[in-house]
Structure 1
Amino acid sequence: MLTDEVVKEPVRTRPRRVWRRRLATAVAVLFAAGTAVRLGGLESGVLLVPLVSFTPYFGVAALLMLGAAALVRSRAAVAVMLAVCVCLAWLVLPRALPGGTDAATGRPLRVLTANLNGGRGDARTIVDLVRTLNVDVLSLQELTWAERDRLAAAGLETLLPYQVTKPETWGPVGSGVYARHPLRERTGLFQPVGHHMPVVEAALPGGAVEVVVVHPVAPVPSTVPEWEAGVGTLPPAPSTGAPRILAGDFNATLDHAVFRRLLGTGYTDAAAATGKGLVPTWPMRRIPPLVAIDHVVTDGRARAVDVRVLDLPGSDHRALFADLRVRS
């Protein structure tokens, strides 16, 4: 009697599954490298400086990659992506969590900052915002002579009669500040690198407050070193003298190391402190706004109780309003 013998071949992992796991691990390593750049503040050059602006979106992509790694059952990729997701959550999520601003006390100071897109921002909208929000100090970037005339015609000087303006005929260079209370221009505080950045002291009831209009150049390929110098040379937070407010288009997000170093001198970002740090302000053109590069930052003697990000027709930026409380 003949017996058929069944020869069993050794079970082999399918080549396609192996390559999927290897690919998942390789992509996870790339995510880890990107996270290390952000953690270490290692961004430099024309590629990484713009890319680090999108760290919050990188975090969303990391979550999706974690799910993909789990689907292909790559233990190495899952382990790496879990570490990446924890790090990115630690970096990004605090900006969406308010920091107990209800208990803030001090003199009220309402600040509005807006980039006018080379004088194209709608003047009547600016004046309406100043009136509706009861603004005390208005910081404007990319102010032109023609736009200054339109703002005056719309009634801005009736609401904010004091001004220090440095407009230009066209382009992004001009800046200015308007206020409800008398202003005194200060010089010699720092050497601006970029566009006009006037410094003023506003004689508010209870004591003066110093305001710096911020607008370094954008970090496009030809100006990355100038951009870094422009943010890096902004004056550090003081502990004595008049409380200092920096307001404007920083062309930097909370993920840029040079901006974080500035905050590390003693400043607080008003939007992040009120849970609005992930609300984007730019661009406002053919695509929705993606990144938050407009800021109001305060030294340790001021605190934000509310921040609003507002549309401004004609501009490629959204306006930013901060309701502050200032202690003498």
Structure 2
Amino acid sequence: MTDEGPFGAIGRHWRAAVAWVAVGSWGIWAVFRLVGADRLPGIGVPAVPLLALTPYVAAVSLVPVGCALLLRRRRAAAVGGAVALALAATVLPRAFGQAQPAAHGPELRVLTANLYFGRASAGQLIDLVRRTRPDVLSLQELTPDAVEEYDRAGLRRLLPHTALDARWGAGGSALYARYPLTSLPDPAGGDMAMPRAAFTLPGGVQVDVTAVHPPPPISTPGVAEWRRGLAALPAAGSSGPVRVLAGDFNATLDHARFRALLDRGYADAADRAGAGLVPTWGLTGMIPLTIDHVLVDRRAAVRRVTVHDLSGSDHRAVFAHLVLPG
């Protein structure tokens, strides 16, 4: 038996402490993600916005495992490995897609774009509409001036039917469509407009679409309004009109409130298509996140999803090509 002396014991305890602190830090994050911390009472800023960083935390989750191995703490390394696997299980499936339902109805093309206070390039938006040929376009942060600019550029000639609620600042949103729209009540009725409308596709399939834009959960009032806005969105049923939610949700698949919305009859189009990790915001000096989504009625199949840069905006546009149930 070797007598390590007091300094040897101190070194051993120090190495154990470092290993377990590293593993514990990632472990706490994993627990918060798995239990859905953003839906728990008393959990607000900064926990709610930080959960959006889970893919980055998962990407470096082997760091504490390597640290524990270097410090010769096998139990800590084993626990760290379990944490890394748990985080990987929550993130990696988004890159591989999901099984699709057998949908044989008409096709529906949906485009959504946050305009960054109406500053997105009119020419580039019109070009994107021409290339993707959406049946319905959801726009967020649409100002009255931007409505006039996009009209002059030819947006309404391409998509003549509208449900508009333009506002100054970030609160305005709108739907532009190829087919006549019947306006429905805004589901949230708050400071952030979320226009909703119904239309009928050739063949008689009815579609109910909402332009989504709850406030960002970056303040205590913002978290409360974000939760209220997501909860107010209509559920998709197993019968009746096909429902689509398209816009800037200010939420990722790592938010329990967003996943609860999916549990009400929706699928994330990008997640189904294997594009769930493609960032849609924050590519200009921020941390890129996937907060813009097209949510589709689970009865619909997703043919493809593409993400497009939009000059003048801090968001990227999301296009989804869907096949609806017959």
Fold conserved (TM > 0.5)?
yes
SS state at 1:202 partner: strand
Deviation at 1:15, TM superposition (A): 4.0
Match of 1:30 among 25, 43, 54: 25
Alpha-carbon spacing, 1:62–1:194, altered in 2? closer, same or farther (3 Å): farther
The 5 Å alignment of 1:237-252 reads 237-252=236-251
> Contact 1:245–1:297 at 8 Å: present in 2 too?
yes
Q: Distance in 1 between matches of 2:128 and 2:323?
A: 20
C-alpha contact 2:103 2:325 (8 A) present in aligned 1: no
Aligned-pair identity in percent equals: 45
**Matching residue's letter, 1:10:** D
Say if 1:306 and 1:104 are closer, same or farther in 2 by CA, change over 3 A: farther
More divergent stretch after superposition (61-70 vs 306-315): 61-70
- SS of 1:113's partner is strand
Which of 189, 195, 199 aligns to 2:196? It is 199
CA contact (8 A) 2:46 2:218 kept: no
Length, aligned pairs only: 318
TM-score (ref. length: structure 2): 0.92
Distance 1:101 1:126, change over 3 A: farther
**Map 1:1-328 → 2, pairs under 5 A:** 10-11=3-4, 13=8, 15-16=10-11, 18-43=13-38, 44-101=43-100, 105-168=104-167, 170-187=168-185, 190-206=187-203, 207-222=205-220, 223-287=222-286, 290-328=288-326
Ranges in structure 1 where 5+ consecutive residues have no aligned partner: 1-7
Computed over aligned residues only, the root mean square deviation of the Cα atoms, in angstroms, reads 1.9
For 1:195 and 1:40, the matched residues in 2 are separated by 29
- Which letter maps to 1:185? S
TM-score (norm 1): 0.92
- Greater alpha carbon shift after TM alignment, 315-324 vs 100-109: 100-109
In the TM superposition, what is the alpha-carbon distance from 1:102 to its structure 2 partner? 10
SS of structure 2 residue aligned to 1:62: coil
Unpaired stretches in structure 2, ≥5 consecutive residues: none
Q: Which moved more, 1:99-108 or 1:77-86?
A: 99-108
Q: For 1:140-162, what per-residue CA distance to the aligned partner results, in whole angstroms no more than 9, with x for missing partners?
A: 00111111111111111121111
Paired amino acid for 1:39 = L
Amino acid at match of 1:291: L
Is the 8 Å Cα contact of residues 104 and 305 (structure 1) preserved in structure 2? no
Over 3 Å counting, the alpha-carbon distance change for 1:225 and 1:102 in structure 2 is: closer
Tell me the secondary structure at the aligned position of residue 60 of structure 2: helix
